[in-house]
Amino acid sequence: MSALQVAKLWLIGATGLSKDALHVYVALILFFGSAVLFKWSLAGWRPWTVVLVAAVTGEAWDIRDRLAGGIAIDLPGDWHDIWNTMFWPSVILLVARTTSVFGRSGSDRLQQPLE
């Protein structure tokens, strides 16, 4: 079992959260955390891209671990994890780009080039 799998199992045990719930929490921490850390707008693509890269990398690592362990690949399950991870960051990105919930009005942002 890889270090990532051990860490995930520890996190599930330590928090009492399901694997799906952890995907959501990690996604939101990465999304908001990268925006705050790098002073990126929530309406820009950068925080969303950080989450996407993490989600795809994590699923690629899961696939590698399954192959190394002789376990069948579960592409529908991997897709489910990526979808589950990306859902709320995608919603927040769209809300930030089209409304004033997070600051300036969405119509102002839509006229600016993407970050």
Tell me the per-residue pLDDT of 46-98, one tens digit each, with 9 for 90 and over.
999 999 999 999 999 999 999 999 999 999 999 999 999 999 999 999 999 99
At 3-20, the pLDDT tens digits run 888 999 999 999 999 999
Give the ranges where 18-69 is alpha helix by DSSP (H): 19-38, 45-68
Please give the average per-residue pLDDT across 37-45, as a whole number.
97
- pTM for this model (two decimals): 0.85
3-state secondary structure of 63: helix
* 64 is a domain residue: yes
Range of the domain at 69: 3-110
* 97 is a domain residue: yes
Q: Cα(62)–Cα(34) distance, rounded to whole angstroms?
A: 24
Q: Tell me, what amino acid is at 50?
A: V
* 115 is a domain residue: no
* 105 is a domain residue: yes
pLDDT at 102: 85
114 DSSP assignment: P
Quote the number of domains for the chain: 1
* 80 is a domain residue: yes
